Structure 1
Amino acid sequence: MLDVSKNAVGFNLKQLRTTKGLTLDQLASQSELTRGYISLVERGLKTPSVNALLRLAAALDVNVTYLFDPNPTPAPRYTLFRQNEQNAPIQEDGFDLIALAASRTRKMMEPFVIRPPLKSAPRASHAGEEFLFVISGKMAIKFEDEEIILAKGDCLYFAGETPHWVRSIGKTKADVLLIVSATSPQKP
């Protein structure tokens, strides 16, 4: 089973960065993240957001799931995720994040289940497109000058480059299927 702890992600990130011969400053420049932030992630002191994972993977020219498991077994023609086999979600800034197809390499979509925080999460924007489908609860997504409320069964598709903030509405966090697309298949 996949270890998605922040320590595993940080360890895998550092291994990949050093294997590629990149300094923290070079990776920070390429990913548009700060050197300090990346250092905290590598040391397991900070869990990267979805946005940060996408930026780091793009800068390192790998699939996001490589950061979770750099040595996946060759994937069959499908990847199966069973609810009862999941690890604890990664938690960052009030978000819960579960990678759904982490063992699949060379894919054009990155599927997750997210549980947005009850207060607004940090602003996100990234390359590609984004699809949200509310499984349970209610959530709000705010663009620069507009806020959209989504309830169970609602979905929203938009350009990931559009700056956006999300939050759950109510007393419990919403469960939301998040699919982020890449512009082309990422390398394993």
Structure 2
Amino acid sequence: MEDVASHLNRRIADRVRELRAASGLSLDGLAAKSGVSRSTISLVERGETSPTAVVLEKLAGGLGVMLASLFDAPAAAARSSGGPLARREDQPQWRDPASGYLRRNVSPPGAPQPMQIVEVHFPPGGRVAFENGGRDAIVHQQVWLLEGAMDVSVGDERYRLREGDCLAMQLDRPTMFHNPTREPARYAVVIASQPPAKP
């Protein structure tokens, strides 16, 4: 598992560096846009740290992409291996070092579509909070609870999800996921983005 985590940290490092370069941002520029310190970004880009989900969400917001995009292979590798099919064994899995939740990017990274599917295994008592700010695009998300129970807070609203429930939200407010039970939870997330409406 350590080799897999190390490989994924290197992939995240390459991807963040690539997206930052494509955006024309310096380390200081990305730090200003994301709220993540320059030194932390530098560590992430060198693959010398295991960033938390909260840090990655802030970086994704600063780069104008969805969190799931940070786990994609760099563009050149994605072009050579991309296509409409993602085999189960090729879908990257990543564990958040802070909350312990395990996420798997299900969608094919090379498919030119506006939605992504992620599967999450959330441990008992686990909690993670995202600020969800900074993107130019409008991001919609639906959470479909497959097993267990979850509390999801979206801004000031709080929802208790039970098995089979599906919650639709727009990622424009702080969001918190919490498993209040002693059993693991598993859910699917469908994320879609659209450009902002023109004035």
Moved >6 Å (runs of 4+): none
1:165 to 176, 179, 182: 176
1:110 deviation in Å? 2.2
Instruction: With the length of structure 1 as denominator, give the TM-score of the two structures.
Output: 0.76
Within-5 A mapping of 1:26-65: 26-44=29-47, 45-49=49-53, 51-52=57-58, 54-58=60-64, 64-65=68-69
Q: Which whole-Å deviations, capped at 9, do the CAs of 1:89-110 have from their partners, x for residues lacking one?
A: 2112222111111423432112
* 1:69 corresponding residue in structure 2: 73
Unaligned 5+ runs, structure 2: none
Asked if the contact 1:68–1:102 (Cα under 8 Å) also holds between the matched residues in 2, the reply is no
1:91 aligned onto 2:102: no
1:24 to 23, 27, 31: 27
2:132 to 125, 128, 136: 125
Q: Distance in 1 between matches of 2:139 and 2:67?
A: 13
Asked if the contact 2:93–2:102 (Cα under 8 Å) also holds between the matched residues in 1, the reply is yes
Unaligned 5+ runs, structure 1: none
Instruction: With the length of structure 2 as denominator, give the TM-score of the two structures.
Output: 0.73
- Give the secondary-structure state (helix, strand or coil) at the position aligned to 2:50: coil
Asked which structure has the greater RCO (Cα within 8 Å, sep 6+), the reply is 1
The percent identity for this pair of structures is 19
**Count of residue pairs the alignment pairs up:** 178
Q: Distance in 2 between matches of 1:80 and 1:88?
A: 10
Alignment RMSD: 3.1
- Kindly provide the amino acid, as one letter, of the partner of residue 110 in structure 2: R
Task: Tell me which moved more, 123-132 or 18-27.
Answer: 18-27
Q: Distance in 1 between matches of 2:20 and 2:95?
A: 23
